[in-house]
Structure 1
Amino acid sequence: MERETATQDVKQARPVKRDPEGVRRDILTVAMEEFSQNGLSGARIDEIAARTRTSKRMIYYYFGDKEGLYQRVLEEAYGKVRGGEMELELEGLDPVAALTKLCRFTFDHHRRNPAFIRMVMIENIHHGRHMQLSQTIGGVNQPAIEALQGVLKRGQEQGLFRTGVEALELHWQISALSFFNVSNAASFSAIFGDTLFKPGGQETLSQHVAEMVLRYVLRADHISLIGETG
């Protein structure tokens, strides 16, 4: 009986082997929070290790160093937003519905993921250096322009969208409208109050961002299509 109990105690004392991929995901999730809250210089690897029940040595094994982890977090963040865009399946929608859906998705994604916006702001403080060093961020983001170009082309071929609209510029406009809503929420609220940042205000802004973009893209004789897609 004593031998059986001792065997059970040894089994319980053995550390549970963790899934390497799961460990990497946990590190990236916690690192996103740490970097987005404290920036590259202020983030602490010790804190990330403690919260993920790993070690600094393990983190460096997976990601090289602190800057390598930061760069990987950036890549992961962009990968998630672009993955969400792919799931919209815009090519199966009519052009007006597709552009509306993309605008609403971008606005809603950004407001629900403020850590992503903070990461982009931090990387701009570093003049985009880590993004330029990345071998994947460019490739991950290019399909966003190509998908938008496809929507524009279909709309122009159907006589709905005016010619001369560039996909890259339109992407910039959609991003700008959606980004400001998060990046400047604190300062805007301090000056003008937080009405626009309450649930009702956010829903209205999301709708109006899509309408503004459509008014820019639609031919004058098709403006009446705004709102028909919900």
Structure 2
Amino acid sequence: MNGSADSPANSRKTSWKKDPEAVKENILAIATEEFAAHGLSGANINEIARKTSTSKRMIYYYFGDKEGLYCAVLEGVYSALRRSEDLLDVAGLEPVQALRRLVESTFDTHANAPHFIRLVMIENIHNGDYLRKSDIVPKLNRSIIDKLEEVCARGKAMGLFRDGADALQLHWLISSFSFYNVSNKATFSASFGTSIYSKSQQSILKARTTDMILAAVVIGYEPKSWN
């Protein structure tokens, strides 16, 4: 016996036909939460399907299998992070201010992207195997290196930056401070309390992170937040 016209199954079929892209976005949004919470092995496709406006069959139709969905989730969180960086227009800023803006923005973006941090931690457990399958992420990640290279080139040309200033090394340093602030929040809080995660303390940490990066790169820079 077929379901009624307004049954959940029929409603899902209608949504697939009307707006398949919205269905895919819904699947990815729920899957991002599930994979971030439970990892690749712990996330359950049946649970993802139950929370979405579609079905397990349609998840497989769009993404192939569970690993395909996980890869799509990884690409999605990297895309979101890089889009926020791409919106930063630093070309019109003088080099020191441009680098400051990039450091501060990275710190804030990571703080506001806990799912991204969790998924990167999970992917590191898998030795980056699934990330290597992506043709999209390497291209996405290139944009922030290009931006830092442009800032470094201008800074050196103006005699403001040290000759050894390197875009890839800078990205590693900036990401390290910003990532650890989120990735180790639970264990750090368990060991030392949560005071460092208050709004005022986070503001100080961001300022000191920025100072340390600028002091390493900018000739004669005197850190201000440590006074």
TM-score (norm: length of structure 2): 0.90
Q: Distance in 2 between matches of 1:27 and 1:68?
A: 12
Max Rg structure: 1
Q: Give 2:21's aligned residue.
A: 21
Q: Give 1:153's aligned residue.
A: 153
Give the unaligned 5+ runs of structure 1.
1-9
Deviations 1:15-59 (A, max 9, x none): 343411111111111111100000000001111111112100111
Q: Is the 2:99–2:151 Cα contact (8 Å) retained in structure 1?
A: yes
Query: Which structure has more helix as a fraction of its residues?
Result: 1
Shift of 1:12: 6.0
| Greater length-normalized contact order (CA 8 Å, ≥ 6 residues apart) | 1
Shift of 1:11: 7.5
Deviations 1:48-105 (A, max 9, x none): 1111121001111111100000001101111111111110012121111111111111
Tell me which moved more, 52-61 or 16-25.
16-25
Tell whether 2:168 aligns with 1:168.
yes
Q: Give 1:193's aligned residue.
A: 193
Q: Distance in 1 between matches of 2:30 and 2:202?
A: 27
Amino acid at match of 2:169: E
Q: Distance in 1 between matches of 2:93 and 2:25?
A: 33
TM-score (norm: length of structure 1): 0.89
Q: Distance in 1 between matches of 2:120 and 2:202?
A: 21
Relative to structure 1, is the Cα distance of residues 59 and 195 closer, same or farther in structure 2, using a 3 angstrom cutoff?
same
Q: Give 1:50's aligned residue.
A: 50
Residue 209 of structure 1 aligns to a residue in which SS?
A: helix
Root mean square deviation, CA, Å: 1.6
Amino acid at match of 2:190: A
Amino acid at match of 2:69: L
Residue 219 of structure 1 aligns to a residue in which SS?
A: coil
Q: Give 1:96's aligned residue.
A: 96
Tell whether 2:213 aligns with 1:213.
yes
Q: Distance in 2 between matches of 1:86 and 1:46?
A: 36
Segments of 4+ moved more than 2 angstroms: 10-18
Q: Is the 2:148–2:167 Cα contact (8 Å) retained in structure 1?
A: yes
Q: Give 1:7's aligned residue.
A: none
Tell whether 2:61 aligns with 1:80.
no
Q: Give 1:107's aligned residue.
A: 107
Amino acid at match of 1:161: F
Q: Is the 2:26–2:53 Cα contact (8 Å) retained in structure 1?
A: no
Amino acid at match of 1:205: L
Q: Give 2:30's aligned residue.
A: 30
Deviations 1:109-166 (A, max 9, x none): 1111111000000000000000111111111111111110001111111111111111
Tell me which moved more, 193-202 or 116-125.
193-202
